[in-house]
Amino acid sequence: MIVLRVKTCPAADSPVPPMPPAQTPDREKPSVFEAKLRAARVALVTNFIDPQKAGSFESLGEKLGDLTIFISTEREGHRIWAPATGRLKTVLQKTITIKSSWRHPMGFKDVNYLHFPVDTYSQLRRYRPDVVLSSQLGLRTVLACAFRITHPRSRLIVWVQMTEHQQSGRRTVRTLVRKLIARCADAAVANGHSAKRYMVSLGFPPDGVSLALGSIDMQPYLGVPDKQPSPHPRRFLYVGRLVEGKGLLPFLSRLSVFAGQNPGCRLVFEIVGYGPVEKEVLRAEHPSNLEVRCSGTAMSEALPRVYASADVFVLPTLSDEWGMVVNEAMASGLPVLGSVYSQAVEELVEDGVSGWTFAPDRQNEVDTAIARAANASDSEILVMGRKARLAVRRCEPERWVESVLGSLGSVL
C-alpha cells in the first residue's frame, strides 16, 4: 500500500486568498482568527472523558462553532470515578474493548484496556467536521486518517499523550502504523516534550507539534494552606492506583533501608489508592521509626484535605505518560519526590527547587533523593512548596485551551 502525505493546503476549487496588505493593523488579526474558530466544527475522538478535564473541554467548546466528543466508553473498568460530562456534547461509539497486558522492558506488567471504536469513520462522515482531534495513535486515529484522505477539506490533528520511555519495547508493526499516521496528520498536540520527541521520531516535523501540558482544574488544591513548621515526623504521601508500574514496592524497600540506617528520623508514608499491590504493601516489613498507612480510596472532594496533611508527595512510577497527581500535589503546595519516568515530573519538577527527582531503576539516585527529602528542614519544605505552586501554573486549563486553539487555527 502506498500512502501519500496529505498536504495541508486548501482544495484546488478553494483558492488561497491573497495575503492582507502589510499595513493591516495587528488588532484585526485576532478577530479573523476567532471568526474561523467560531465557525469551525470540531470532532474530538478519545477513549473517555476524565471528569477532571471536562471543564477544559467545555472552555474549548465555547470558542468553537461546535465541539462534539466521540468516546469509546463512559468509564474504564479499573477507574472508580463517576462519569461527568457536564454540558459537553458526547457520542458513545460502537467499540470493541479488550483487556490486555504486556511486560515493559523494565520488568513490570502493564494491564490496560484497548478500545477499538469501529464506527469512527461512519460517525465522522455523518458529523462532517472541519477538524478532527484524535487522541493517541491507534485504530481511531487510523480511521480518522481515512476520513481525512477521503474528505480533503477536513484537517486532522493527533493528540499525543505518551512518552518515549513508555513506548519502549513496543512492536515494530505498531511503530510502522504510527509512522503512516504521522504522514497523514496536519498537526500534532503533545502533552510534553517527551511526547513531542516521540512524534518527531516517527517522522513528523518538529514545527508541526505544539505543546499542551497535562491540565486539570487546580482551584480546589490552590486553597490548601501553606505548611507550617511543627514537631512531627516527616510525612510522605502517595495518591493513585496501587499497581506494579507505579513502583511503590521498590520505593518502600529503599525507604525502609533509609529508616533503618537513621533510627532518629521518624517517617510516615501514607498511601491513598486502590489496586492489587495493596496486600503486598501491607505485608512489607519496615523499621519501627517508619509508619506505613494504607488509607484506601479517597474521593476527589476529599483529596485537598489529604494533600494538606502531608509534607512531601511521592511518585516513584516506572512509567507514566503524565501523572495528574503531580499537578494536584504541587497546586496544594507540596514539593514532589518524583520519578523522571513521569512526564509531569520531567516537565514541572526542578530538582532541588520544587522537589527531588530520581530514576527509579538507579538505586543510588533513589537513596539520595529519599535522604534529601527526609532531611530537608521545615522552612525548606515551605519554600519548595511555594515554588511548586508557581511551577504548576504552566498547567492551568486556560493555557491548555489556548494551545489547542492555536493548533486548530493553524490548520483551518
Does 156 or 225 have the greater pLDDT score?
Answer: 156
Lowest mean pLDDT among 102-116, 220-234, 369-383: 102-116
Lowest mean pLDDT among 59-73, 170-184, 185-199: 170-184
Identify whether the C-beta of residue 256 lies closer than 8 Å to the C-beta of residue 285.
Answer: yes
Identify whether the C-beta of residue 294 lies closer than 8 Å to the C-beta of residue 318.
Answer: no
Burial 202-230 (b: 16+ CB within 10 A, else e): bebeeebbbbbbbbbbbebbeebeebeee
pLDDT score of 380 = 95
| Total number of residues shown for the chain | 412
Q: What is the pLDDT of residues 108-118, one digit of tens each?
A: 777 677 788 99
Question: Does pLDDT of 304 surpass 80?
Answer: yes
pLDDT score of 21 = 43
The highest-confidence range among 50-54, 85-89, 90-94, 350-354, by mean pLDDT, is 350-354
Question: Does pLDDT of 69 surpass 50?
Answer: yes
Range 219-395 classified under CATH 3.40.30.10: no
Does 77 or 216 have the greater pLDDT score?
Answer: 216
Does 205 or 74 have the greater pLDDT score?
Answer: 205
Residues 6+ apart with CB under 8 A from 402: none
pLDDT score of 12 = 38
The mean per-residue pLDDT over the stretch 75-89 comes to 72
The arrangement of strands across the sheet holding 312-315 comes to: 290-296, 267-272, 234-239, 312-315, 336-339, 355-358
Distances from the Cα of 28 to the Cα of 31, 33, 38, 64, 404, angstroms: 5, 9, 15, 19, 21
pLDDT score of 308 = 95
Question: Does pLDDT of 211 surpass 90?
Answer: yes
pLDDT score of 277 = 92
Q: Residue 80 — pLDDT band, cuts 50, 70, 90? A: low
pLDDT score of 46 = 94
pLDDT score of 98 = 79
Question: Does pLDDT of 58 surpass 60?
Answer: yes
Residues 6+ apart with CB under 8 A from 22: none
Q: Do domains 38-215+396-411 and 219-395 have the same CATH topology?
A: yes
pLDDT score of 379 = 93
Distance in angstroms (rounded) separating the CA atoms of residues 185 and 8: 9
Distances from the Cα of 398 to the Cα of 59, 85, 195, 354, angstroms: 8, 18, 21, 22
Angle at 285 between CA 279 and CA 289, to 5 degrees: 120
Question: Does pLDDT of 7 surpass 60?
Answer: no
Positions of E strands within 176-278: 187-190, 209-211, 234-239, 267-272
What is the residue whose three cell numbers read 538507579?
A: 362
Task: Parse the chain into domains and list their residue ranges.
Answer: 38-215+396-411, 219-395
Question: Does pLDDT of 16 surpass 90?
Answer: no
The mean per-residue pLDDT over the stretch 152-179 comes to 89
Identify whether the C-beta of residue 198 lies closer than 8 Å to the C-beta of residue 162.
Answer: yes
Does 107 or 302 have the greater pLDDT score?
Answer: 302
Q: Residue 30 — pLDDT band, cuts 50, 70, 90? A: low
Question: Does pLDDT of 56 surpass 50?
Answer: yes
Question: Does pLDDT of 33 surpass 70?
Answer: yes
Average pLDDT for the chain: 88
Distance in angstroms (rounded) separating the CA atoms of residues 117 and 78: 19
Range 38-215+396-411 classified under CATH 3.90.76.10: no
pLDDT score of 29 = 55
Whole-model pTM? 0.86
Does 204 or 10 have the greater pLDDT score?
Answer: 204
Question: Does pLDDT of 20 surpass 90?
Answer: no
The mean per-residue pLDDT over the stretch 377-393 comes to 96
Question: Does pLDDT of 19 surpass 50?
Answer: no
Distance in angstroms (rounded) separating the CA atoms of residues 91 and 127: 11
pLDDT score of 311 = 96
Q: What is the pLDDT of residues 326-346, one digit of tens each?
A: 999 999 999 999 999 999 999
